[in-house]
Structure 1
């Protein structure tokens, strides 16, 4: 049933019905009562989408990430939803799979559906050419992947520094032939690779292209890559992965080879999750403030929606190196 049907049944204009439904006071009591009686009898439900388009107001926020299966993005999404709900917003979740075409499709969808704003973990292509977003009149907050040279709110960690500290720790334990896996479609992977290489340079250990793998951030890709690395005539004595999905696949490959950790091969990763703490030996990780990233990003977006002219902010949150026995040091 449409608004005009309510108006016809009540014998009033559609404008009068609209005033009643919106709580306006300039309606006679007997007319209001008649309209509400028809609404109750017909179980009429207002078309909220049409109302948003007419008012140019929306209660929807888009969250566009690489892969919700990643423990990192799952925790971020939890925080975004918590903050959004407290502020009377709903969240639409989209996975890009690091595919720029899917990313563009979702941004266009958010624009067409008149979303209030978007929290975005951009693909590598968009990170390098963020000017592409200027065609969308959407408030945007970027998370996880830094974009250069553009005025946009961002919530990040220092990826280079985090990888530098992790690699320094592994080197300090005496490991020298370190394999490292990085996501190949994000600026985050590039920044973490930069920190890894800097630590090698400090220790005067030459980079080894055989041991550095840039690949899709998927468990199966990491499992295959590490399985092959461990079959080399001179295999790595340590493995680092730059995110949780790569970490799960890499560690499974080590287990499949029945290699003792850390005696035969050390292991460390980004992203704390239940399995990294519960397995034996427990895994050395860089713990990212995932909930704080999502919480801060959503709060910043809501402020941007309310006040589009507020100053641009870049928030860099601290990560934490948790040292455990998978690298030959620390408590289980």
Structure 2
């Protein structure tokens, strides 16, 4: 069996079969699935991978990530590449764009490419999809807390502790009502935020009103959130966004609507970005160790790849802590630029 025969059976060109293996995102899903089904049926492996397989490894890992349009994702990629490069491995990138079906198809493609391991970022796989992956026998690490994706190894942020630190700071400034704008294509961190809030309430013996809703993780998403709250006449003391772009959009909306920040509305974000420190007022943020997330997940993966005796079913979790950067957007008036570990 060779690539020409695969192309003939699939009714496509040799170039299309090549794209399925090298640039799967450029191939129509139905064509891609047809080619993959035939390669699996005939147990076909491209020559460039077959040569490496004789050595027991393709020296490749896959990174499935929603996108590359944010500092968070770019830093995760950098962390993964650093560890993989030191190991002499190549990283194959697949943009899932928050689409569970696309993610599932990429996983099947990576199986056909005989990658040594896979890292999934903010996986949206359903339990039924995850069940099919149990036969893959490929080490996988998930950056995120979606336990339904079927990954035994997970690396994620402690948002409860992060929320505790941020809300404790906000409460100390006199804020009593908080709205969380979370990412409509990412993890819903609301339960963890509420847990951190309850810790603050118990500790300070103070009631804090809290609501949450989903929005697009973009400047437009933040802009529309403020616009909606103003139109509904339901402006909180503080708007906390999941992403830095949402915070920038919220800041723009406040200016357009003649709202003072932090006078009329305080603003904070669960994700920092260089721009958050140079806008006026500078935005209070949590610094997410994204590069460390990427490095930690890659190390977990390589530990599993390199330990043939380790049970694939053994669960491992690594939890990282964000840091609070206090700036001006929540009402802080002291001349500090401070990190709280």
Q: Is the structural similarity TM-score above 0.5?
A: yes
- 2:123 corresponding residue in structure 1: 123
Moved more, 160-169 or 104-113: 160-169
- By how many angstroms is 1:55 displaced? 4.8
Partner of 2:147, secondary structure, is coil
Please give the per-residue CA displacement for 1:145-190, whole angstroms capped at 9, x wherever unaligned.
3527967122222112212321232222112232210123433534
Aligned to 1:320: 323
Corresponding residue pairs, total? 285
CA positional deviation for 1:326: 0.9
1: CA distance between counterparts of 2:327 and 2:316?
A: 35
Are residues 126 and 171 of structure 1, via their aligned partners in 2, closer, same or farther at CA, if it must alter by over 3 Å?
A: farther
CA distances 1:27-76 after superposition (whole Å, capped 9, x unpaired):
xxxxxxxxxxxxxxxxxxx9523323555521221111222212211111
The Cα offsets for residues 102-144 of structure 1, whole Å up to 9 and x where unpaired, read as 1111111111111111111243454898545314221111113
Whole-angstrom distance in 1 between the partners of 2:156 and 2:294: 10
Q: What does residue 249 of structure 1 align with?
A: 249
Q: CA separation of 1:183/1:327 partners in 2, compared to 1, >3 Å: closer, same or farther?
A: same
Residues 106, 314 of structure 1: alpha-carbon distance in 2 compared, 3 angstrom cutoff: same
* CA distance in structure 2 between the aligned counterparts of 1:82 and 1:198, rounded to whole angstroms: 38
Cα contact 2:176–2:209 (8 A) shared by 1: no
Structure 1 gaps of 5+ residues are: 3-45
Structure 2 counterpart of 1:215: 215
CA offset digits 1:183-239 (Å, max 9, x no partner): 23433534444346536865323444xxx2123433322321222213332422321
Q: TM-score, normalised by structure 2?
A: 0.74
**Cα separation, partners in 2 of 1:134 and 1:247, compared to 1, 3 Å:** farther
Contact in 2 for aligned 1:270/1:287 (Cα 8 Å): yes
- Of residues 271-280 and 199-208 in structure 1, the stretch that sits farther from structure 2 once superposed is 199-208
Q: Rg larger in 1 or in 2?
A: 1
Query: Which residue matches 1:280?
Result: 280
Report SS of the residue matched to 1:194.
helix
Structure 2: gaps spanning 5 or more residues = 3-45
Taking a change above 3 Å as real, the CA distance of residues 95 and 151 of structure 1, as seen in their structure-2 partners, is closer
Contact 2:127–2:150 (CA<8 Å) still a contact in 1?
no
State how far apart, in whole Å, the 2-side matches of 1:256 and 1:128 are: 46
Q: How much does 1:84 deviate?
A: 1.1
Secondary structure (helix, strand or coil) at the match of 1:114 reads coil
1:127/1:187 contact within 8 Å kept: no
| Secondary structure of the structure 1 residue equivalent to 2:318 | strand
Question: Residue 133 of structure 1 corresponds to which residue in structure 2?
Answer: 133
Counterpart for residue 82 of structure 1: 82
Matches within 5 A, 1:26-65: 47-53=47-53, 55-65=55-65
Q: Aligned partners of 1:52 and 1:83: how far apart in 2?
A: 20
Question: Mean Cα displacement is larger for which, 127-136 or 152-161?
Answer: 127-136
Structure 2 equivalent of residue 161 of structure 1: 161
How many angstroms apart in 2 are the aligned matches of 1:126 and 1:84? Answer: 28
Aligned residue number for residue 21 of structure 1? none
